[in-house]
Structure 1
Amino acid sequence: MKAPPDLVTVMLVEDHRAVAEGLWALLDEYDDLTVVGWADSVAEAVPMAEQLSPQVVLIDYRLSDGTGAEAAARIRARDPAVVAVFLSADTSDAALLAAAEAGASGYLLKSAGGDEIATAIRAAAAGEILIPARTLMEVLARHRETTRVSDQHAERLGRLTAREEEILVLMTQGLDNRAIADRLTISYATVRTHVRGILEKLEVRSQLEAVAKAFEWGLRPPAPDAAPEPDGA
């Protein structure tokens, strides 16, 4: 039997039972809202939504087998009439962007009160978009800048030769130039030449700054089975 026209049907997607039960009890207090089901994973949410056809899925971002964005995208691909409202503890720009790209109508934090959640569900069911365009524009701008800076850092690290990267890794381990020369069985002068090249390519002024940037930019040592360059390189 179908729900009355003024009754909003809600499906919960939440991988913590206590939270899901609390939300179910909370929403049951509102006469115009009814919870029709609860899924605790992406894998369970998609077929359940297809079976129950809820008007709104109230969905957590972090799930045991993926993200709420994945679940929302797959649910809406099968039935675009279903709207998604996220209720999450994740405050990151990446989570908000992923939710928006999945077609979310709203994104609430788990600190939201019952009336706020109920109001968001009603508004989403009525076709309102609760994520302000200005907020999305700001998040996109920050995301683009972060990506640009990350690409710039990767490009600088990519300028290093295999030997320079090897020396930089040893620098991050606290070895000085003489210790590096001994470790690699190359001359002290050769190490100094490579260090000058590292500073120039990373656009830094000291070995200490080079080490700090290497950590900041996520430098990872080469694979253990990487073939070493000939001595004296």
Structure 2
Amino acid sequence: MRSASDLIKVLLVEDHRAVAEGLWALLDEYDDLTVVGWADSVSEVVPMTVELSPKVALIDYRLPDGTGAEAAARIREEDPDVVVVFLSADTSDAALLAAVEAGASGYLLKSAGGDEIAAAIRAADAGETLIPARTLMEVLARHRESTRLTAQQTERLQSLTAREEEILALMSHGLDNRAIADRLTISYATVRTHVRGILEKLQVRSQLEAVAKAAEWGFHPASPDPASETDDS
């Protein structure tokens, strides 16, 4: 029989009662683990950490008032000796990176079995890092590429002139070149020139692709103003 001081004290941070109760019952089957409490929100983690002095926090990533990364950061700010393991259904690179940045020792999916969760808690308590370096490097590489592409997309949208943005907005609302010319009271040839500029700057081959890419990159124009402009710019 283990003494209370030998047990690994676990704080559950999970907003779904049924999941929390299931985890509590599951972990209590292991004679070296004991669940000391359950927090269902970010706001509860600090007072419960102070009151219960857990060794390990087992945290879901999605919480009603924030993320598990925020919860982990608050816990470790209050008590740096508490180690954190995430147990989440979120498989995104962003969630994993946020967890790592918050000081997590491990990141498990909710499909993990009881023995795997218990082993992860023990390993984290022993000071081991459960996220393989190769996995982290792959995630970081994807994140850098995503950041680069996002910056590139933003730069392309920002390279459009005010008139090109206006024409792209009208294209997005389904107007063809002649309708755009009528709406803006400019020539059809001028519209075509602007459209060519839009396609070139966005590096696309058609007006439909320009509209699709612009929307994908965050260009969401308001409904066109019924009043038209008269400047041929």
Q: What is the TM-score when the length of structure 1 is the normalising length?
A: 0.93
Q: Structure 2 CA distance, aligned partners of 1:21 and 1:118?
A: 16
Q: Give, in angstroms, the shift of residue 106 of structure 1.
A: 0.5
Alignment of 1:53-132 (within 5 A): 53-132=53-132
Partner of 1:179 in structure 2? 179
- The question of whether the paired residues in 2 share the 8 Å contact of 1:50 and 1:75 is answered with no
- The question of whether the paired residues in 2 share the 8 Å contact of 1:177 and 1:191 is answered with yes
Matched, 1:168 2:173: no
**Partner amino acid, structure 1, of 2:210:** A
Partner of 1:38 in structure 2? 38
Matched, 1:50 2:50: yes
- The question of whether the paired residues in 1 share the 8 Å contact of 2:184 and 2:230 is answered with no
Which shows bigger deviation, 186-195 or 77-86? Answer: 186-195
Matched, 1:198 2:207: no
Partner of 1:24 in structure 2? 24
Q: Give, in angstroms, the shift of residue 172 of structure 1.
A: 2.0
Percent of aligned pairs sharing the same letter: 81
- The question of whether the paired residues in 2 share the 8 Å contact of 1:166 and 1:222 is answered with no
Distance 1:224-1:212 versus aligned 2 partners, 3 A rule: closer
- The question of whether the paired residues in 1 share the 8 Å contact of 2:62 and 2:68 is answered with yes
Is the partner of 2:210 in helix, strand or coil? helix
Q: Structure 2 CA distance, aligned partners of 1:232 and 1:143?
A: 43
Which shows bigger deviation, 19-28 or 207-216? Answer: 207-216
Structure 1 stretches (4+) deviating beyond 4 angstroms?
222-225, 227-230
Q: Structure 2 CA distance, aligned partners of 1:86 and 1:124?
A: 11
- The question of whether the paired residues in 1 share the 8 Å contact of 2:156 and 2:201 is answered with yes
Aligned Cα root-mean-square deviation (Å)? 1.9
Which shows bigger deviation, 96-105 or 176-185? Answer: 176-185
**Partner amino acid, structure 2, of 1:52:** L
Structure 2: where are the runs of 5+ without partners?
none
Deviation string 1:161-213 (CA, Å, 9 cap, x unpaired) is: 12211211221222110111222232222211211111121122322221232
Q: How many residues align?
A: 230
Structure 1: where are the runs of 5+ without partners?
none
Q: Give, in angstroms, the shift of residue 80 of structure 1.
A: 0.7
Q: What is the TM-score when the length of structure 2 is the normalising length?
A: 0.93
Partner of 2:156 in structure 1? 156
